[in-house]
Amino acid sequence: MQRAADALFEFTTRYCAAWQQHTGHAPASQALAGVPSPCMVATQRDEVWWLPQPFSLPATLEAIKRALDIQLQADITAFYTTQFAGDMTARFVQRELSLLQVWSEEDFLRLQENLIGHLVMKRRLKQTPTLFIATTDLEQEIVSFCNLTGEIILEQPGSKKRETFAENIQIFLRNLQPVIGGVAEIG
């Protein structure tokens, strides 16, 4: 669990540094403007600038465990309970994605409800339980954590089609390149 948290912290640090170097300020989001969060450091016109903050709730996905009577791997719990932050754009190999993060306490409740819905769909389709961690530009593709193997996969919800990206979340996060303004930051 700690290795996953460390890998997320390392990527977030690289992401924030790339934003600072590229723009001269903290990461910015238009989509999150006006949405309260402990991450907000400034509001500029139609965007909010943010920095990651320590997760202030109990570090558990207990609502998901209770709702579905499922045991979740520690790495997925660490991924969603290490910090509050905005979603972060990145590139993995040649695929651009948006790494999903928890913006606030309210967002954490909504996230768990969405993960429960996703897992219920997977159960109905008799498919391996996965938990999404990123979106892609293609609506029918998401990046997910496989709860059985710990692998990070690209999948199409409702389909059995999947591609393994990394053998675990640490490898995946360490190989992400921050994308700022459509440009991958190498470093």
Average pLDDT of every residue of the chain: 94
| pLDDT score for 145 | 98
On the CB side of 97, CA atoms within 13 Å amount to 26
**CATH number of the domain to which 21 belongs:** 3.40.1580.20
pLDDT in tens, 20-35: 999 999 999 999 999 9
Helix/strand/coil for 2: helix
Q: Copy the structure tokens of residue 46.
A: 């139609």
Backbone angles phi, psi at 88, to 5 degrees: -125, 125
pLDDT in tens, 154-166: 999 888 889 999 9
Q: Copy the structure tokens of residue 87.
A: 């979603």
| pLDDT score for 187 | 52
The total domain count for the chain is 1
Query: In percent, how much of the chain has pLDDT > 90?
Result: 88
| pLDDT score for 182 | 62
pLDDT in tens, 51-100: 999 999 999 999 999 999 999 999 999 999 999 999 999 999 889 999 99
What is the domain extent for residue 145? Answer: 2-184
